[in-house]
Amino acid sequence: MTVAIDTRSAAVACVSGRDLHVPLVQGGTRAYANFDYAASAPALTQVTDRLAALLPYYASVHRGAGYTSRISTDCYEAARGSVARFLNCADDQVVVFTRNTTDALNLLAACVPGDTVVLDIEHHANFLPWQRNGRRVVPVADTIEETLDRIARELGTKPAALLSVTGASNVTGEILPLDRLAALAHRYGTRIAVDAAQLAPHRRIDLRACGIDYLALSGHKLYAPFGAGVLVGRRDWLDTAKPYLAGGGAVREVSTDGVEWAPAPQRHEAGSPNVLGVAALAAACDTLGSLHEADTTEHERYLTERLRDGLDRIPGVRFLRIWPDSTDSVGIVAFTVDGVEPGHVAAYLSAEHGIGVRDGRFCAHPLLHRLGVDGALRASIGLGTRAGDVDRLVAAIAALVDRGTGWNYRQQDGQWGPAPETREGLAPGSVTGAAPCAAF
């Protein structure tokens, strides 16, 4: 007899840490269930394989004649092509490597020749940088359609150089209609930038088709460690703005009386670049670009619905949502548990069940204020998530609501933790054992 296997329940890619077991406060270990992909996603196996192959050739890039320097330079510059293909960049767009999304948006903010319009739901990375050149905040409305109308009125009332929006909320996962926003912005002579930190790991983005002018993303959320990010954007603003950093690599000629700056992207990449981080990011783009999008999207939707359905049956669990008319979201579920602080819940899940979630305000304080909560829990799903992980999280929350915690917890320096802490590597004075950083 042939048994049908639901492939939606299994991981769709191999990621680092998939076999990791973590200690429990009550003793023993448990396979780690990672629901913190939205903060930093584990590395894809293809990424770690490429890094292992590159490490023997690691050297300083650009202008080095040595063999390893040439190899590293070729890898670094070829990475721009990987990113450009992954995002289907337009001909006039350049790929600038940065540290992360925050760095990329700060770089862009220094290049924008005028006001920037943003929404009040943004991650701080896409909210704070625009203060320097005239930030105009549009409060979101009760629906997406009304929110688009508000943006149109703002841009029609007073010209703006840029509209900068999130691709997917880092709190609720809800996705904005980027093609419609791009058309709306261009109608009023405004360019559009997208914070794609949360969108790019979950959905394919076609810059040509959507008409997006600028896009920022982070490698560490895209299954690539080592802290490289990207700003992709139209060349003219990047070519005429002051260099983001002044230093070697950003110049054509320097004298004691002046300097001739290089065009973008080199203009904004002064100093020795993060070769390994960029190579990791390129490997992630190549790997994600080779996956069948329908399969990855269905895997994510199935597990997200499974998680929501399970949590929805537990008394006192409440979900966070921005718009009732949003029709698509990435694999992020934000919720609260009545009567228990989010940090307390997160500490319990980690200590007693080996489950990792995020708690707090997620660097989106205005949005949490709008949603009427001081903090929440966030469970985020990725390519390595399995149905069994989801069921474990639901069961752990149900047990908490039904019976409470099985251990004592207290706050110290604003962070909840078990009291006493018994886990190897975390307990006071513990400097040995399997945890690799326990001795540092």
Catalytic sites, residue numbers: 363
Question: How many whole angstroms from its chain centre is CA 29?
Answer: 29
Tokens of 55: 């490490």
Q: Report phi then psi at 244, rounded to 5.
A: -65, -40
Burial, 405: exposed, middle or buried (Cβ in 10 Å; 0-12, 13-18, 19+)? middle
**What is the DSSP code (8-state) at residue 30?**
E
Q: Is the peptide bond between 420 and the residue preceding it cis, with omega within 30 degrees of 0?
A: yes
What is the DSSP secondary structure assignment for residue 36, as one 8-state letter?
B
Question: Closest Cα partner for 318 from 363, 377, 265, 269?
Answer: 377
Strand residues in 206-326 grouped as ranges (E): 214-218, 229-234, 251-254, 259-261, 317-319
Beta bridge partners of 259: 254
CB 232 within 8 A of CB 214: yes
Furthest-apart CA atoms within the chain: distance in Å: 82
Q: What is the CB neighbour count within 10 angstroms for residue 124?
A: 15
In terms of phi and psi (left: phi > 0; alpha: psi -120 to 50; beta: otherwise), the region of 271 is: left
What residues contact 230, with CB distance under 8 A and at least 6 apart? 83, 95, 96, 97, 98, 104, 215, 216, 217, 219, 281
Distance CA 167, CA 221 (A): 14
Cβ burial 40-59 (10 Å sphere, 16+ → b, else e): bbbbbbbbbebbeebeeebe
Residue 135 in contact with residue 109, Cβ under 8 Å? no
How far apart are the C-alpha atoms of 140 and 144, rounded to whole Å? 8
Amino acid code (one letter) for 421: E
